[in-house]
Chain A
Amino acid sequence: MAPLLEAKGVTKVFGGLTAVDQVDLVIERRSIASLIGPNGAGKTTFFNCMTGLYQPEEGSILFDGRPLVGQRSDQIIGLGIARTYQNIRLFKGMTVLENVLVGQHVRMKATPLGAILRTASQRAEERQTREFALELLEFVGLAGEEDILSTNLAYGDQRLLEIARALGSRPQLLLLDEPAAGMNPRETEKMMGLVHRLRDEKGITVFLIEHDMKVVMNISEKVTVLDYGKKIAEGKPAEVRANPRVVEAYLGPGVLMDAPPKAEKKGE
């Protein structure tokens, strides 16, 4: 079976800076893959190219056989790619439930006229949407918090809500941008469990950016390393960890990889 996502030679330039430089990447179906690299390596830019927020200057991205380059972000989510954001971007003035309802926007069909007349099909759809939203909140562990304003959630819970919102669009591929950033060890543990359940129970392919090496090494089946926009390594977690180029990129030339993985966090 063909891979779920196939990127070839993706390049994104900002002025004189090549943020992503000729990156090739393959994501297998029902896998958990990670994208790592030092700050400014181009990880989020690559995410933005995949989700239509940026249009790459060169290269192609095929998702399930369909090209993504040239599509708008609202079309891409329709194809089945949803994402979360590094610096949480919830709809702050909306409740937890409303955030997840908006997340399902792309899967809904109601027209404005249907809403004004409150037709049978519109009411049925609203009910299903609500039920599915509650189900998703339950899944990520936010049951009972529906009516709280999203900005009032604890930080870790806001990250969970972003995932629930993304799941609303029933994605095949979920992109998580630093899902464990700023979390305490217990929350990180929970997040890792959630990522596994996403794949095992919902069959969703997960591609994530993460700085916490413990998370990366634990859950990924494949790790891709970017540095200065270029792909410098790829493979199983253990292989990548032993790769001298990766060590150099993270810790500077001439340092050996005997430091514990946690040291990476300090480098931020």
Chain B
Amino acid sequence: MNKGLTTGLIAFGSLTYLILTGVPIRLAQAALPVLAVLAALFFSLMLRRQGRESSSSELLASGLTAGVVAGLLTTAEVWLFSSLLGNGIKVQPIFDKIVPLNMAALLGVRAGAIIKGEVALGQYALIAIYLAAAGLAGSLLVLFTRSGAAARLRGVRIPGGRWLTIVLPFVLFAYIYYLGLSGVTAFGNNRNIVRLLIVLVATGTGLFALRAAQEGLVQLVTGALLAAALLSLPFILNQFQNSVMSIVFIFVMMGLGLNIVVGYAGLLDLGYVAFFAIGAYVYAFVSAPFSSPYISSLLAGMGISPDAPLLGYWSAIPLAIITAAIGGILLGIPVLRLRGDYLAIVTLGFGEIIRLFLLNLDELTNGPRGLLRIAQPTIFGAAPPDLTSHLDAQGWIFLLAIFGSAVVAFVAIRLNDSRLGRAWVAMREDEDVAQATGVHLVQTKLLAFAIGAICAGLAGQLYAARQINIFPENFTLFVSIDALSLIIVGGMGSIPGVVLGALALKGLPEVLRGVDEYRIIVFAALLIVMMIVRPEGILPSARRRRELHSQLGAIPVPAPDEGPLDEEIEGGRS
């Protein structure tokens, strides 16, 4: 009961937040049902822990209490706001989203009814009823999972399920082709968005298909077919879909690099955007020298015309790699002795320093005005839109991003299963023991930072080519947070997980354009739910899966009977 009360109060607080930020306006008529479903899921999450020790009736009582408390309070709140609005009292100066439309969406009436103050009492009661039902539904959900029915459902083996998983992405890819045919009118105006959604889902299910294929010939064939399907996408998608997919795969490149630093070596780097920015700006300096006052005057002084690019995309790659690696090492050296939280704070600062440099080194970077007209990657001396009509500029970047991701993934896989990869994991597990086992900490850490930085630098270079014009505000802290979140959601240390995370966190928001302004809320909620329900991520690495598995069937280890005093004095570092 007590738990129910607290849960109800927290739910009320969250609902108030959603109402104050104007979420119901977006959801229109669906506002109340959607909020009720969210509330039900929230209740079940909160009551889950209580579920283990209490009886069914206690659980139902808690759920109902939570629902009723949240329902009554929310109803009272909506009534209060509605009557204020109905009496012509303006609350907008304080709560800018409290408008008749907002209340009307919640109450399921027209906005006019709010202004005139003509809302039936029953409409208010509906809110309370919905939320009370949500409370019951939440506790029923907990009962359901507890009863073992859910576990049994999960245990059911669909005959041929493995083959279904393998075939599914190909069906979806075929459907993408079908939607692209000229005569197809399905989904009307939304066809673009629906097709993009299916592209994202098809790529995501492809990852599951690869896993389901296990090893041997089946996996080889599945992998080859999936690669072919993916590589054909840039040629058949339109400019909008290609531009979304190119940013997704640029983030895959970045995510794979960050995965080496955070997932393998366990170094929490929050300033990862710095290397992304370094890659982008280095490429901009050499391919658009005229837009940097300092570089163009320098070149003019040397008798070189700054109007033409100094280096092309391909010849700039070594430069981007070297510069990013140096950046990684320069960041690495001062933080060698830091661990965990301290490391996170310092790297966070480093990311911001680089952005502020870009913003304020006016002469070199053109400050907030940015560097403009960055050269496109060419092939045989021309950019593909000029070579073939089947590939637009964004598709070309998408194609390069797929190749870049493949190269980075290859390097990550090879390194993970090597002397260096094992040293990284050992260092993550126990730094002192790793060193006493012969791991050279300075070298190993700096290699992690440098290799991670190189991946981000290459992603940044491609990003600059994609954007054509780059500005310091492209490289805020949010890029680092996005890259880190996609690793966490996908599954730390797992390469398919990174791809899945990028599809979900960089691709889906584009599909959900409608809720784009609430992206951060959705993001936060998603992360919190993930951490509670599936802390290892959607597609965890084999190692993490094993660790989780081990907790279920662990052999109890008796505590060693060693002297506590000895531990304190001598094992001080243990």
Q: How far is the CA of A16 from the CA of B567 in the complex (A)?
A: 18
Chain A residues with Cβ below 8 Å from B419 are 105, 108, 110, 115
Q: Is the CB of B547 within 8 A of A40?
A: no
Q: Given A181-B562, A268-B562, do A77 and B437 touch, yes or no (CB 8 Å)?
A: yes
Residues 99 to 130 of chain A near chain B (Cβ within 8 Å): 101-103, 105-108, 110, 112, 115-116, 118, 122, 126
Asked if residues A93 and B438 are in contact (CB atoms below 8 Å), the reply is no
**A132 close to B (CB within 8 Å):** no
* Residues of B with C-beta under 8 A to A102: 422-423, 425-426, 434, 437, 439
Say whether B439 contacts A151, CB under 8 Å. no
Contact in complex: B426, A94 (CB < 8 Å): yes
Known: A86-B566, A87-B574. A92 touches B429 (CB 8 A): yes
Query: Which B residues are in CB contact (< 8 Å) with A155?
Result: 557-558, 560
Tally B residues with Cβ within 8 Å of A.
51
CA distance A45 to B547 in the complex (A): 32
Q: A78-B438, A149-B547 are in contact. Are A115 and B414 (CB under 8 A)?
A: yes
Indicate with 1 or 0, residue by residue over A31-55, a CB within 8 angstroms of chain B CB atoms: 0000000011011110010011100
Beta-carbon contact of A115 and B441 below 8 Å: no
A74 and B425 contact, Cβ closer than 8 Å, known pairs A44-B570, A181-B561: no
The CA-CA distance from A268 to B561 in the complex, in Å, is: 8
Given contacts A93-B547, A105-B422, A116-B414, 12 further A-B contacts (CB under 8 A): A17-B569, A40-B569, A86-B570, A89-B430, A95-B546, A102-B422, A105-B439, A107-B438, A110-B418, A115-B414, A152-B554, A152-B555
B420 within 8 A of A: yes
A86-B562, A94-B426, A102-B434 as given contacts; A43 in contact with B570, CB under 8 Å? yes
Contact yes or no, B426 A91, CB < 8 A? yes
Residue-by-residue, is B532-569 near A (CB-CB < 8 Å gives 1, otherwise 0)?
A: 00000000000100110010011101111111011101
Does A21 interact with chain B (Cβ within 8 Å)?
A: no
In the complex formed, the residue of A with least CB distance to B429 is A91
B382 CB to closest chain A CB, in angstroms?
Answer: 32
Within 8 A of A (CB), among B349-373: none
Chain A, 71-101, contact with B by CB distance < 8 Å: what is the 0/1 string?
Answer: 0111011100001011111011111001001
> How far apart are A186's CB and chain B's nearest CB, in angstroms?
15
By secondary structure, the A interface counts as mixed
Q: Which of B306-336 contact A (CB under 8 A)?
A: none
Which residue in chain A gives the minimum CB-CB distance to B493?
Answer: A93
With A19-B569, A93-B543: A149-B550 Cβ-Cβ less than 8 Å: yes
B558 nearest in chain A by CB position: A155
- Judge whether B303 is part of the interface by a CB distance below 8 angstroms: no
Question: Out of A44, A116, A211, A268, which one reaches B571, CB within 8 Å?
Answer: A44
Please, which residue of chain B has its CB at the minimum distance from the CB of A148? B550
Chain B interface mostly helix, strand, loop or mixed? helix
Taking the nearest CB of chain A, how far is it from the CB of B536, in angstroms?
Answer: 12
CA distance A115 to B572 in the complex (A): 37
Give the docked Cα–Cα distance between A127 and B562 (Å).
Answer: 39
| A154 within 8 Å of B (CB atoms) | yes
The answer for the CA separation of A88 and B451 in the assembled complex, in Å, is 32
Contacts A115-B414, A152-B554 hold; do A44 and B561 have CB atoms under 8 A apart? Answer: no
Q: Which residue of B lies closest to A182 (CB)?
A: B560
A118 — which chain B residues lie within 8 A by C-beta? 414
* B26 sits at the interface (CB 8 A): no
A91 touches B411 (CB 8 A): no
Contact A169 to B437, CB < 8 A, known contacts A85-B574, A86-B571, A112-B415: yes
B337 within 8 Å of A (CB atoms): no
**Which 4 A-B pairs rank lowest in CB-CB distance, beginning with the nearest?**
A106-B438, A115-B418, A44-B570, A39-B563
Q: How far is A78 from B435 in the complex, measured between Cα atoms in Å? A: 11
Taking CB atoms, residues of chain B closer than 8 Å to A94 are 422, 425-426, 429, 543
B546–A52 contact, CB under 8 A? no
CB-defined interface of A156-185 with B at 8 Å, one 1/0 digit per residue?
001000000100010000000010011000
B519 within 8 A of A: no
B436 at the interface (CB under 8 A from A): yes
